[in-house]
Amino acid sequence: MWDGSDNSSPGPALQDAAAWSGRTAALVCHERLAWLFRAISAPDFMAVEAASQNAARRAVHELNNLAGEALAEWTGSAGSTGIRLTPRGRRLCVALLTLRVEHERLLSRFGEAFGDDIRLLDRVAVRTSARNQFAARVASHPRGTLREEVLLELAGRRFITVAITHESVLALGLKPGLEVVALVKASSVDLCVGGGGKIGGDQNRLTGTIAHVVRDGDTAEVAVDLGSGLTGIALIEGSGATRAKVGQRATLSFPSDTVIIGRVA
């Protein structure tokens, strides 16, 4: 196997990867990784047409940020602009190709249900600092020029609205029926106990029963059982923290622009 060092030869593994790149790009649903496979088919530099440059440049920046090292370079060559993979980026393509081929073999052996299990493992393995992490499905999203409101359906036919940019909608490939993850920081969530308090009209609302309260001075972390296996978390300060008690009905509210949408590759 090629080790990715600058002075090593790509060898048969890289040649095989280049030959498979067209087929593998179709298998890779995540746009960032798809750009890697398109680029590996070029011996050194892959020019990107003007209409696709924004998406390709964003993919390069995100790949490098998430990897913590350079996998690809967005650069110009002979009057054109495009992607040049680093040795590490090419090695990653070989590794991902191998995983995809093995994945196909397992699917052929165990059936499509195995693929569903793998996708579920991908989703539950994601770790973030956001206390509220909900599996969701895109219900609809009215198209806009710069900003869009995406409607997400959670378990139990609960719905929340997410305000994100049009560019982010395109980057994530959001469309009705797509499975995503909705992330909300606990500090962005307000808690309304019983019938008290007012909730603005632009707020998402999730109602349930307080299941657990952890207090630290005048701050409380409140867990609300929302039903259908869902739990919402709010970090409350001041008088609201002292009023929250286990067993009370409560509503969690948060603005649509505080929700982050994630998609499992």
Instruction: pLDDT tens for the chain, 265 residues: list them.
Output: 233 333 434 444 444 444 444 444 444 446 678 888 888 888 889 999 999 988 888 888 888 887 888 899 988 866 789 999 999 999 988 888 888 788 788 888 888 787 788 777 777 766 788 889 898 999 987 676 788 999 999 999 999 999 999 888 988 889 999 999 999 999 999 999 875 555 556 799 999 999 999 999 899 999 999 999 999 999 999 888 888 999 999 999 999 999 999 987 6
Rounded Cα distance between 226 and 207, Å, is: 6
Domain extent listing, the chain: 11-120, 130-183, 184-256
Q: Which long-range contacts does 230-239 make (Cβ < 8 Å, 24+ apart)?
A: 230/134, 230/154, 230/155, 230/156, 230/158, 230/206, 232/132, 232/189, 232/206, 232/208, 233/131, 233/132, 233/186, 233/189, 234/186, 234/189, 234/190, 234/191, 235/131, 235/186, 235/187, 235/189, 236/190, 236/191
User: How would you class 59 by CB atoms within 10 Å of its CB: exposed for 0-12, middle for 13-18, buried for 19 or more?
Assistant: buried
The pair of structure tokens assigned to 254 is 């948060």
57 φ, ψ (degrees, to nearest 5): -65, -40
pLDDT at residue 18 in the model: 43
User: How would you class 94 by CB atoms within 10 Å of its CB: exposed for 0-12, middle for 13-18, buried for 19 or more?
Assistant: buried
pTM above 0.75, yes or no: no
| Overall fold of domain 130-183 | OB fold (Dihydrolipoamide Acetyltransferase, E2P) (2.40.50)
CATH for the stretch 184-256: 2.40.50.100
CATH topology agreement for domains 11-120 and 184-256: no
| Overall fold of domain 11-120 | Arc Repressor Mutant, subunit A (1.10.10)
248 φ, ψ (degrees, to nearest 5): -75, 145
> Among candidates 174, 177, 170, 166, which has minimal Cα distance to 139?
177
